[in-house]
Amino acid sequence: MSLTIAVFIQGIVVLALAPLVTGLVRWFKARLQGRHGAAPWLVYFTLLTTLKKENVISESRSWVFRCVPFVVLGIALFLSLTLPIVFPSGGIPQVDLFVLAGVLALSSVFLVLGGLDAATAFGGMGASREMTIAALIEPTTLITFATFASVAGSSSLQDIFGNGITVISHPALLLSFVALVLIVLAENARYPVDNPATHLELTMVHEAMVLEYSGPYLAMLEYASSIKLTVFLLILGNLVGAGLLTTVVIGSFALALFESTIAKMRFFRMQEYMSIAFFLALAGLILIFII
């Protein structure tokens, strides 16, 4: 299979699966909590319905507010095409692992700008919290990625995720894998860092920044969140040697089970959460050079 075809098919697969992953997480969570829950594929209809609605935008909003959904969705599409998560040759070649960290940070920056441009109390609060979390998570992300790059002997995404590197390839990768799981939860605004299903002032982070969006813009942001979650689940699945469908089903169930058994952490304890991830990642990197 040629590189172009592999990248194209991978992009189609990820884009098609993304809403289903979000729907599965919600459905599993409802079942675990004793509720019937909506069908997993309802997310597709919800996105289409939101897409048909009208954008309601205040005249005080600048071009930044309108630009954010396109940038965030574009970054999500970039992730789905760059990482070799469906096929070993499915990603765009010659993309550096640390470029990935920068792109993830860029997505957070634009979400923050959108929240600030809304000029509301909720938007400013969410933007402030998001930047605090980003400042805590970026060092951990870089150290975790550096560990995988050290094992692969290259910082290329193709060399790391396309050559079959798993957590059993090197004992130290187990610590980095756990750190990556904690990073994935924070990057995707999941428990215990954030609650994606609430609009309560005390708990909102991501939802506070997108609260002023509606219509197609809101659909784009929600779709981007689904793509990002799917990409990260597939990364974790590849690192444990799981297949595509296994990763989607087991990963969605594991996330739903995790979120159904713990409470959201207080925001002012985020440094404790990210400190655990940081020292796990650092220990993994040190072990790479010792073993």
Whether residue 25 is predicted with pLDDT greater than 80 in this model: the reply is: yes
Question: pLDDT tens, 219-229?
Answer: 999 999 999 99
Residue 260 phi/psi, 5-degree rounding, is: -90, -10
Domain spans in the chain, listed from the N-terminal domain onward = 3-290
Q: What per-residue confidence (pLDDT) applies to 89?
A: 64
Which pLDDT value is given to residue 86? 84
Determine the Cα–Cα distance for residues 202 and 210; give it in Å rounded to an integer. Answer: 16
Question: What confidence tier does 279 reach under pLDDT thresholds 50, 70, 90?
Answer: very high
At residue 22, the pLDDT reads 95
Of the two residues 268 and 114, the one the predictor is more confident about is: 114
Mean pLDDT of the region 156-182: 85
Determine the pLDDT at residue 1. 59
Question: Average pLDDT of 180-202?
Answer: 85
CA distance 164 to 190: 28
Of the pLDDT bands very low, low, confident and very high (cuts 50, 70, 90), residue 202 is low
Question: How confident is the model over 279-284, as a mean pLDDT?
Answer: 94
Instruction: Work out the percent of the chain whose per-residue pLDDT is above 70.
Output: 98
Range with the poorest average pLDDT among 5-19, 59-73, 115-129, 148-162? 148-162
Of the listed ranges 25-29, 52-56, 195-199, the one predicted with least confidence: 195-199
* Average pLDDT of the residues in 40-63: 92
Question: How large is the greatest C-alpha to C-alpha distance in the chain, in angstroms?
Answer: 60
pLDDT band at 93 (very low <50, low <70, confident <90, very high): confident
Provide the pLDDT confidence category of residue 31 given band limits of 50, 70 and 90: very high
- For the segment 235-241, the average pLDDT, to the nearest whole number, is 90
